[in-house]
Structure 1
Amino acid sequence: MINEQIRDKEVRLIDVDGEQLGIVPVKEAQRIADEKKLDLVKISPNAKPPVCKIMDYGKHRFDQQKREKEARKKQKVISIKELRLSPNTDTHDINVKIKKAKEFLQDGDKVKVSVRFRGRELGHTEVAFKIFDNFAEAVSEYGVVEKAPKMEGRSMAMFLAPKNS
């Protein structure tokens, strides 16, 4: 709440410099703020009496938005990239997928490697475990196995996380 929106009878007033002016009536606090051509801003509404500060509210809001924007810039969004294989994927094709997985891990993304089974392939799930072992060993320089290979319906999946995190 700012200026005329403050409905309390008395407030604890803090000056622009952070100096406490004591408990004063709201009208008096508003008059002091008007003399300095600044706003009266309610900082702590739950205190007894509420705490108000004299400040330039527009500048305060601008600085606050600037800080929030900086915080958003610094945060890293981790996304999950998926690579799909099949039990009879050839060696060269797996090497291409490994190269792609290394790129994703270097960028800081997690990688989901999945092997899709069709028809009779479902009876030979041990092939997928071999593929996953080779895959994890090949990318061990850049990432670690976050979630071991596990069956999910007709496919088996393994999650890799970047090593630096």
Structure 2
Amino acid sequence: MIKNEKIKASEVLLTGLDGEELGIVPTVEALAMARKLKVDLVCTSLLSSPPPCQLIGAAAVRESMQQARKQERPAKVKEIRLTPNIEDHDLDTKRQQAERVLKGGDSVQFVIRLQGKSDGERAKKLLEELLTGLKPVGRKQTGIQLSGKQAAVQVDPL
């Protein structure tokens, strides 16, 4: 992203703070306008002539760069393993861990290893409890899957 004095074009197609078109303006005049308003002059594309530029506040520039970075990288699936006999405090810790991962933009897959026949129902209840606790930050992608020796569910960020 090119901004302020690094813009080498003699004139730019300027857009104001509120998105209003200000037309083709000499770069020197656009920089003076940016300094007067205490914002940055940011070049949005170098492919056209004159290059389109925008008056943007510093916080907005940082925020848009962070959004672009988040969209660039693909979401990962983090696996969190549990047992059916988990204590309440440990379950809370796992829920908080999953919350952090979901807020970071990645998906979470809960996997519960089953030992006996009665563990299936207990595992299903645990997963449902986790899903209700994580409703504000994520939604389930798949239903609760009971297969052989494990129960699993995947939660995607909102």
Q: 1:75 deviation in Å?
A: 1.2
Q: 1:130 deviation in Å?
A: 0.8
Gap change, CA 1:86 and 1:76, over 3 Å in 2: same
Q: Which position in structure 1 is the counterpart of 2:89?
A: 92
Instruction: Kindly report structure 1 stretches of 4+ aligned residues shifted beyond 2 Å.
Output: 71-74, 121-124
Q: Tell me if structure 2 keeps the 8 A contact 1:136–1:145.
A: yes
Q: Tell me if structure 2 keeps the 8 A contact 1:111–1:159.
A: yes
- Is 1:81 matched with 2:81? no
Gap change, CA 1:75 and 1:136, over 3 Å in 2: same
Count of aligned pairs: 91
Q: Tell me if structure 2 keeps the 8 A contact 1:122–1:154.
A: no
**Structure 2 unaligned spans of 5+:** 1-67
Where in structure 2 are the equivalents of 1:48-87 lying within 5 Å? 75-87=72-84
- Could you tell me which of 125, 139, 144 is aligned with 2:134? 139
Gap change, CA 1:124 and 1:73, over 3 Å in 2: closer
- Is 1:159 matched with 2:151? no
**Structure 1 unaligned spans of 5+:** 1-70
TM-score computed with the length of structure 2 as normaliser: 0.54
The superposition leaves residues 50-91 of structure 1 with CA deviations (integer Å, 9 ceiling, x where unpaired) of xxxxxxxxxxxxxxxxxxxxx999512210000111110111
Question: What is the CA–CA distance in structure 2 between the aligned matches of 1:140 and 1:73, rounded to whole Å?
Answer: 22
Where in structure 2 are the equivalents of 1:117-136 lying within 5 Å? 117-118=114-115, 121-136=116-131
TM-score computed with the length of structure 1 as normaliser: 0.51
Question: What is the CA–CA distance in structure 2 between the aligned matches of 1:85 and 1:122, rounded to whole Å?
Answer: 17
Q: Which position in structure 1 is the counterpart of 2:16?
A: none
Q: Which has the larger radius of gyration?
A: 1
Percent identity between the two aligned chains = 27
Q: Could you say what the CA RMSD is over the residues aligned between the two structures, in angstroms?
A: 1.9
